[in-house]
Chain A
Amino acid sequence: MLCPFCGFETGDLDFCIRCNRHIKPYRQIASLANYYYNEGLDRAMIRDISGATENIKQCLKYNKYHLDARNLLGLLYFETQQYVLALSEWAVSTSFYPENNIANEYLKEFEYNPTLLSNSDIAVRKYNLALDYCRDESWDLAVIQLKKVKDILPKFIPGLQLLALMYIKEEKYDQAKKLLKQATQIDTNNTLTLKYLKEVREKIKTSEHQKKKKDNILSFQDGNDTVIMPTFTQKIMGMGGTIANILIGFVVGFMAVYFLAMPNARLNAKKEADEEIGRMSSAISTKENSVTALKNEIDSLTNELEDYQAKSDVAESNDSLIKAYMAYQEEDSAKASRLLSRINKDFLGDDGSKLYDQLSLSVNSVYLQELYDEASSDFTAGDYSSAIEKFEEIVGVDVYFGEGAPLYYLGQSYRHVDDMDNAKKYYAMYIKAFPGTNKAETAKKYVSDADIANAPIEVWHNPDVVEETVGETQQADTPTPTDQEAAANQAQIEQAIQEAMENQ
Chain B
Amino acid sequence: MIDFEEEIRRFSPAKETSEAEELIRNHDVTDVSDILRQMVEDMKMQQPVASNQQVQGENE
Contacts and interface: CB of A to CB of B under 8 A. Distances in A.
Contacts of A60: 29, 31
A120 B20 CA distance: 13
Interface in B1-42: 1-2, 4, 7-8, 10-11, 13-20, 23-24, 27, 29-34, 36-37
A117 interface: yes
Given A62-B32, A64-B31, A131 B2 contact: no
Contacts of B16: 84, 121, 124-125
Interface residues of A, number: 42
Among B7, B23, B30, the most chain A Cβ lie within 10 Å of the Cβ of B7
Contacts of B23: 84-85, 88
A152 interface: no
Interface in A91-148: 91-92, 117-118, 120-121, 124-125, 127-128, 131, 134-135
B24 A92 contact: yes
A127 B13 CA distance: 8
Nearest to B22: A88
A165 B14 contact: no
A92 B27 contact: yes
B5 to A, nearest CB: 9
Interface in A61-107: 61-65, 82-85, 87-88, 91-92
Given A124-B14, A124-B16, A196 B24 contact: no
A435 interface: no
A62 B30 CA distance: 9
A169 B30 CA distance: 41
A52 interface: no
Nearest to B18: A121
B15 to A, nearest CB: 4
Contact of B20 (A25, A29, A63, A87): A87
Contact of A88 (B11, B27, B32, B34): B27
Nearest to A135: B8
Chain B's interface size range is 20 to 34
Given A26-B36, A61-B32, A63-B33, A127 B8 contact: no
Give the dominant DSSP class at A's interface.
helix
B4 to A, nearest CB: 6
A88 B20 CA distance: 6
Given A60-B31, A64-B31, A85 B15 contact: yes
Contacts of B17: 83-84, 87, 117-118, 120-121
A308 interface: no
A452 to B, nearest CB: 130
Nearest to B41: A5
A192 B30 contact: no
A199 interface: yes
Contacts of B4: 165, 169
A92 B25 CA distance: 9
Nearest to A196: B2
A4 interface: yes
Contact of A131 (B8, B15, B18, B19): B8
B13 A64 contact: no
A340 interface: no
A139 to B, nearest CB: 9
Given A88-B23, A91-B24, A165-B2, A128 B32 contact: no
B27 A158 contact: no
A29 B27 contact: no
A162 interface: yes
B11 A29 contact: no
Among B1, B20, B24, B31, the most chain A Cβ lie within 10 Å of the Cβ of B31
Contacts of A4: 33, 37
B46 to A, nearest CB: 18
B13 A26 contact: no
A63 B35 CA distance: 11
A149 to B, nearest CB: 9
Interface in A199-229: 199
A29 B34 CA distance: 11
B44 to A, nearest CB: 11
Interface of B: 1-2, 4, 7-8, 10-11, 13-20, 23-24, 27, 29-34, 36-37
3 closest A-B pairs by beta carbon, nearest first, are A64-B31, A84-B15, A124-B14
21 contacts: A26-B36, A29-B36, A61-B32, A62-B33, A82-B14, A84-B16, A85-B15, A87-B17, A91-B20, A118-B17, A120-B17, A121-B16, A121-B18, A124-B14, A128-B13, A135-B8, A158-B11, A161-B11, A162-B8, A168-B2, A199-B1
